[in-house]
């Protein structure tokens, strides 16, 4: 790990929650490599990692999601047993019903983890997902890296 060429990013926080959490729409972005039954699996053969994303809709039955994670070092058994660990839609629905958050967004997004060459992710995929979240009027995003 000491020899790994980590990418450095000049982080500048630029977003603040503009409304109380109990009025905010929340989405999840995960790196669990979830994909639905009508979606292509992430391509684990792409050198440097598959930079694409998969939209997961709120009404999706989480038990139908499959995992195409690239890392051999990641044990997926926990999130296979309970997909809410990485994509807590059921928990967010409960929080919305209790009035703790305003709403659960209609779309959530999954990426593959272990992307060793993130150039296209940074230049293409992440901006496209950010635009989709804006279109869905999302106020805050819960990031669940795995």
β partners of residue 29: 109, 143
Question: What was the pLDDT predicted at 13?
Answer: 73
Q: What is the pLDDT of residues 46-65, one digit of tens each?
A: 988 999 999 999 999 999 99
Q: Give the global pTM.
A: 0.90
d(CA 92, CA 60): 14
Q: Where are the domains of the chain?
A: 31-144
């Amino acid at each position: 790990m000491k020899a790994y060429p980590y990418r450095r990013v000049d982080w500048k926080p630029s977003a603040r929650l503009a409304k109380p959490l109990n009025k905010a729409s929340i989405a999840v972005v995960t790196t669990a490599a979830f994909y639905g039954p009508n979606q292509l699996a992430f391509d684990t053969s792409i050198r440097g990692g598959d930079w694409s994303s998969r939209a997961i809709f709120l009404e999706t039955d989480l038990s139908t999601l499959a995992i195409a994670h690239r890392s051999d070092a990641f044990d997926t058994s926990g999130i296979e047993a309970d997909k809410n660990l990485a994509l807590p839609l059921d928990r967010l629905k409960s929080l919305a019903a209790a009035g703790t958050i305003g709403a659960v967004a209609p779309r959530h997004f999954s990426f593959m983890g272990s992307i060793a060459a993130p150039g296209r992710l940074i230049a293409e995929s992440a901006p496209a997902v950010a635009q989709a979240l804006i279109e869905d009027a999302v106020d805050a995003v819960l990031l669940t890296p795995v």
